[in-house]
Structure 1
Amino acid sequence: MDVITMGETMALFSPEQNGMMRYAHMYSRKFGGAESNFAIGLTRLGHQTGWISRVGNDELGKAMLQFVRGEGVNVDNVKLEDKAPTGLYFKEFRREGEIRVQYYRKGSAASLMNEEDADEAYIKKARYLHITGITPALSTTCRQAVLKAIQVARSHGVTIVFDPNLRKSLWSEEEARTTLLEISALADIVLPGIAEGEFLFGTEDPEELGRLFLEKGAKEVVLKAGEKGTYYYSKNDSMFVPAFQVANVIDPVGAGDGFAAGYVSGLLDELSVNDAILRGNAVGALVTQVNGDVEGLPEKEEVMRFMSSEGEDVTR
């Protein structure tokens, strides 16, 4: 197994028409979640992934399992939960450039994950463990599950990748800051955005953020600066890799998950750090051009074509 990830995926409903959702009568149903988006992104790039989670023992949960399994992700450690339903969220396209997301996930099946879900025999098979800051925010038992997974990974030499993926609505700012800094200190690679770095440390300066994350304990910091590009910091190296510019952004949701998939794919393929970041930037850019969390995740051939400037509406 190349990568294992742990977290919640929800059923996603989007109105068939743009504008205020109160006027919508028809919706399309998809699935989305940072961790499964990441796992699916990696499978499309040719890697083996596994996903740890719980879904409701309901029709949406069963459909979700079928969907994620169909994308090539191993779901052996996803449990059907009788005591709670599959989480939901709605994505509202109010007008061009304005997208609102509303979650209905409190008390969901995934929030019941606990230390038992961090199966040692499963996690130790992987080269990388991917964690986001969303999962520990779901419940106390989810936080315990994440910390147990990290402990298992560290004990077996599995590289830990942490994407803070801050969701302020899920917990207090104090609890979020404390927990995200705790996990950052335990991770090998941290993938924050500039805004997340400012939330955690009170500064937007990339060099300062790189230094602070490294001082906390991370070995590598991959700092995402949106349409500008990506900064990289380690004990012995630093660089900036410009982004691919996209003329028409359709849906930015999921771009960070796409970047993470592209970057880790580059590491798995033993690319240089610069080239791995380039691949991450390319996947993130491609994701923004399609409506949906996973629908825009590309296969490797498409990424290579895009990076060679053969795709449409792309400059570098």
Structure 2
Amino acid sequence: MTELITAGEPMGLFIAQTPGPLAQVNQFECRLAGADLNVAIGVARLQHTVQFITQIGQDVFGQKILNLLKREQIATTNVYQTSEWSTGMMLKGMATNGQPEVDYYRKASAAAHLSPQQVTQVDFERVKILHLGGILAGLSEAGYQTTLQLIKLARQHQVLITFDPNLRPTIWESTEQMIQRTNEIARLCDVIMPNIKEAQTLTGMAEVSQIAEFYLQTPSVQQVIINLIDDGAYSCQRHRDGTVTTTQLPTFKVEHLVDKVGAGDGFVAGVLTAMLENLSVSQSLQRGLALEAIQMQHRGDNEGLPTPTSLEKFLQQAQ
């Protein structure tokens, strides 16, 4: 039984082995990345069943992605391969302050051509959560329509829908389109999970209470969870009786900051697994912040995502 389904674009990743601008670096290490891939790995490592929906090229990176998914025990039933387009790719610099330089090669990638028709047969029976990110919708019109189709199918099966905007301005036609379509998707979901900068961009509002109210006025939205980046996390939840509760937790102290890329995906994975386990909002935020802090202490986008044992060890040491 699949507990969680997610969809998005996995990519090949080249990580610089020496500091400096990417244009001047000659040595790179090959790994794999992609926001939704990172989330899937994070959920699977905490021993939950995951299915990943995507399209990859019939190329080396595509094969590496398939190998990784199988190694992490992530279902590949709806991973499609095509010889017409290539798997996307990105370069990442060596971080000196936790925030590395990145450069994407994803225009017209295989994932950008994933179509609504390809996902019509996705089995949502007994699935608990559909988690979507905004990247697939921004890659192409096909990706946008595929996102809407997945939401429609999940609704037909009463599946909880969570959404991380994952704003990437360069993949959208314009900032206006990015904001309009991302908010359109958000209003179709149950739980919205932006970081504070994304939330401010999408709403034009500064305060978390204003941002939460902006989305909670939509009937389908039940909860807004905001990653405050360096200041912890915030949740505002509307209950069935109409009451609203808020929760806010501070971030964990990170002793050895290495790389912030992928940390936000760790946060999302932590929250989602806590939801699958019916933990409280406070426990969900705590787990999300823990995964974020752990991932920040590793190079690569998903290598640090913990197992239950390593997560428990981190939480004990953090007390």
**Which TM-score band applies after superposition, normalised by the shorter structure?**
over 0.9
Report the CA distance between 1:25 and its aligned residue: 2.3
Does residue 280 (structure 1) correspond to residue 288 (structure 2)? The answer is yes
Please tell me whether residue 173 in structure 1 is matched to residue 175 in structure 2: yes
Aligned residue in 2 for 1:234: 237
Q: Is the 8 A contact 1:206 1:223 kept in 2?
A: yes
- CA shift, 1:125, in A, is 4.2
Tell me whether 1:93 sits opposite 2:94 in the alignment.
Answer: yes
Per-residue deviation, 1:98: 4.3
Whether 1:142 aligns to 2:143 is: yes
**8 Å CA contact 1:2, 1:49 repeated in 2:** yes
- Whether 2:80 is the aligned partner of 1:79: answer yes
Which residue of the partner structure matches residue 261 of structure 1?
A: 269
Other structure's SS at 1:136 match: helix
Identify the residue that residue 199 of structure 2 maps to in structure 1. Answer: 197
| SS of the residue 1:95 aligns to | coil
Q: Report the residue type matching 1:95 in the other structure.
A: T
- Read off the aligned partner of 1:140 and give its amino acid letter: E
- Alignment deviations for residues 209-268 of structure 1 (CA, whole Å, 9 cap, x no partner): 111111134110101101211111012211111111112210000111101110111111
For 2:158 and 2:141, how far apart are their aligned partners in 1?
26
Work out the CA distance in 1 between the residues paired with 2:161 and 2:194.
14
Q: Which stretch of structure 1 is more off in the superposition, 113-122 or 262-271? A: 113-122
2:20 equivalent to 1:19: yes
Residue type of the alignment partner of 1:198? Q
- Once the 2 structures are TM-superposed, how far is the Cα of residue 89 of structure 1 from its aligned partner? 0.3
Aligned residue type for 1:219: Q
Shift of 1:118: 2.1
| Aligned residue number for residue 244 of structure 1 | 252
1:37 Cα deviation from its structure 2 partner: 0.5
Among 212, 216, 238, the alignment partner of 2:214 is: 212
Alignment of 1:36-51 (within 5 A): 36-51=37-52
1:30 match: secondary structure: strand
Aligned length: 311
Aligned residues: percent identity? 33
Q: Where do 5+ consecutive residues of structure 1 fail to align?
A: none
Q: 2: distance between equivalents of 1:85 and 1:32?
A: 15
Cα deviation for residue 108 of structure 1 reads: 0.6
Change (3 A) 1:187 1:98: closer
| Whole-angstrom distance in 2 between the partners of 1:242 and 1:130 | 25
Shift in Å, 1:85:
0.5
Q: Output the TM-score relative to the length of structure 1.
A: 0.95
For the 8 Å contact 2:5–2:51, the answer to whether it is kept is yes
The answer for the alignment partner of 1:54 in structure 2 is 55
What is the deviation of 1:286? 0.4
Over the aligned positions, Cα root-mean-square deviation in angstroms equals: 1.3
* Partner SS for 1:166: coil
Instruction: Please list the CA deviations of residues 59-89 of structure 1 after superposition, one character each: whole Å capped at 9, or x if unmatched.
Output: 2211211112211111110011111011110
Report the CA distance shift for 1:227/1:22 in structure 2 as closer, same or farther (over 3 A). Answer: same
Gapped regions of structure 2 (runs ≥ 5): 239-243
The answer to whether the 8 A contact 1:19-1:94 is kept is no
Q: C-alpha separation between the residues in 2 aligned to 1:257 and 1:145?
A: 21
Aligned partner of 2:198: which letter? E
Q: CA deviation at 1:14?
A: 1.1
Partner residue, 2:152: 151
Partner of residue 182, structure 1: 184
1:21 to partner: Cα distance: 2.4
Contact 2:15 2:300 in 1 (8 A): no
TM-score (norm 2): 0.94
Moved >6 Å (runs of 4+): none
Which residue pairs with 2:307 in the alignment? 299
| Aligned residue type for 1:255 | A
